[in-house]
Amino acid sequence: MSEVIATVSVRPPRSGIGVEVCFEFPGTGQTVHLPLPDRGLLAEVRRKAGIYLERVVPLTARLNAGTEQAASALRILLNKGRELTALLVQDDIERFLRLESAFRAAWPRWRSADWSDDAAPLPMVELHCHDDTLPLELLPLFDFGPLPELRTYADLAAAASRFLGFATVVRRVVPTPVTADRVLRNDPALPVQFLRHRGLPSAQEEERFLASLGGHVRVDGPWPVAQDEAEVRAALLRALYDGSPLDGSAGAATPVQVQHFACHCDTTAELDDDYVLALSTRNGKPRRLTFGELREGYYERIFADGDSGGHRAVIILNACASSRTNPLTAYSFPRWFLNRGHRAFIGTETDVPDGVAAGFAAAFYGRLLEARRPLGEAVVWARRDLLRDFRNPLGLLYVMYGDTQLTVERARPGVYRASAGRAA
């Protein structure tokens, strides 16, 4: 298990009104308290994070971004990460420096971490949250100082190491049950349900990649194929609730472990009932499921069965560039899925370019299967792989909730050439 170098919690202040963001460092015994006048500032951090990410994405919208574009994006991320941190420290420079010093003391190896060493340990930062969450991955908490010239991959990796999302596993601790064995069954193959919008280039790329894994991944899909909207909705709800095969056939010996969506997502409606996951059939016919319909379907089964159904599959929501999500509203999906027993949720803080979505999916599954990286570590290594192989820092858009320690039971050497990146 990764070493926990810091825990972050939002709690009532030690005195006075408002709230307090508390950073505690178990290895050094340090604590940094950041008092805030109210919870509205936490929402402001998430809102600004969404705006800042929208400015970074166009710089590296192509998967092969190039060193110059990656350098520009990292400079913007550094500046905006400072601004987000400034909201938390109330623009108090002394608190800035205390926070930076505490993180450096908690993980002195941050600057010298070897990204070529697949077995290198990754530290963990735990965020204890319920209704409050923070875009910790975007904060350059190891170094707020100016960047040097970024000419090589080594320069980019050193700059990226400042950010929690590249240097650490961020574990969002939510009040949901954890599976005792923390195992993703993949013997003989990892069962994945693949749900997509067929019009997306990223969905087509992800479909081809999963198919290329041959006997190491058992894909149920791509789906939907049916034309009747009510039939599609009913099959999707059954699959999400109890892992049923999407075609309605008898279940396999190994229950589905991952439900992977490569689709449109819209969380901009006034009511979360109207948030939408948009899929399409093989003929391109749109099929939509609203958040309200999703909740209604689960409640129908839960109260009919008199049981919540236990542990459910990991959800990966790989929303594309034409989606409309932001950090203020996107939290509704992971919070709800985790509350309904899904073991983990991986999604994005904002809309992702199609090429980046496909590249991240390939790196993530490769890391998960190649050397049995735990789920949280696979996310971090996939971010690093995008920067190494394509000079693209947008892996930071991906955020994980739930059990970061879920690990496949068998490694699959040879499915992913993680060391085959481009030369510096």
Q: Domain end: 113, 141, 173, which one?
A: 173
> Same structural domain for residues 210 and 303?
yes
Q: Across the chain, what does the average pLDDT equal? A: 89
Count other Cβ atoms within 10 Å, centred on residue 331: 22
> Same structural domain for residues 145 and 225?
no
- Determine, yes or no, domain membership for 415: no
Out of 40-49, 325-334, 358-367, give the one with best mean pLDDT.
358-367
What are the tens digits of pLDDT across the range 331-389? 678 888 888 899 999 988 778 888 999 999 999 999 999 878 899 999 999 999 999 99
Q: What is the mean pLDDT of residues 230-253?
A: 85
424 pLDDT higher than 60: no
> Same structural domain for residues 19 and 53?
yes
- Determine, yes or no, domain membership for 282: yes
- Determine, yes or no, domain membership for 199: yes
> Same structural domain for residues 228 and 263?
yes
Instruction: Please report which helix (H) or strand (E) contains residue 167, including its range.
Output: helix 164-167
- Determine, yes or no, domain membership for 401: yes
What CATH code is carried by the domain that includes residue 238? 3.40.50.1460
Q: What is the mean pLDDT of residues 1-17?
A: 88
Q: Domain end: 125, 150, 173, which one?
A: 173
What are the tens digits of pLDDT across the range 50-100? 888 888 999 999 999 999 999 999 999 999 999 999 999 999 999 999 999
Q: Which domain holds residue 367?
A: 183-408
Question: What is the pLDDT at residue 227?
Answer: 74
Q: Domain end: 143, 173, 203, which one?
A: 173
Kindly report the pTM of this predicted structure.
Answer: 0.94
Cα 233 from Cα 229, distance rounded (Å) = 6
Instruction: Please report which helix (H) or strand (E) contains residue 192, including its range.
Output: strand 190-196
Tokens at residue 252, please?
């396999």
What are the tens digits of pLDDT across the range 253-283? 788 999 999 998 888 888 888 988 999 988 8
Q: What is the mean pLDDT of residues 128-140?
A: 84
What are the tens digits of pLDDT across the range 90-119? 999 999 999 999 999 999 999 887 888 877
Give the number of domains in the chain: 2
- Determine, yes or no, domain membership for 416: no
- Determine, yes or no, domain membership for 422: no
- CA dihedral for 290, 292, 294, 296, sign (positive or negative): negative
The DSSP bridge partners found for residue 24 are 7, 31
Question: What is the pLDDT at residue 322?
Answer: 46
Helix (H, G, I), strand (E, B) or coil at 6: strand
Q: Are 8 and 127 in contact (CB under 8 A)?
A: yes
Judge if the upstream peptide bond of residue 222 is cis by omega within 30 degrees of 0: yes
> Same structural domain for residues 321 and 361?
yes
Q: How far is CA 237 from CA 23, 164, 231, 342, 379, in A?
A: 39, 35, 10, 13, 27
The DSSP bridge partners found for residue 398 are 348
What are the tens digits of pLDDT across the range 176-227? 655 568 999 999 999 999 999 988 888 999 999 999 998 899 999 999 987 7
> Same structural domain for residues 121 and 233?
no
> Same structural domain for residues 193 and 161?
no
Helix (H, G, I), strand (E, B) or coil at 372: coil
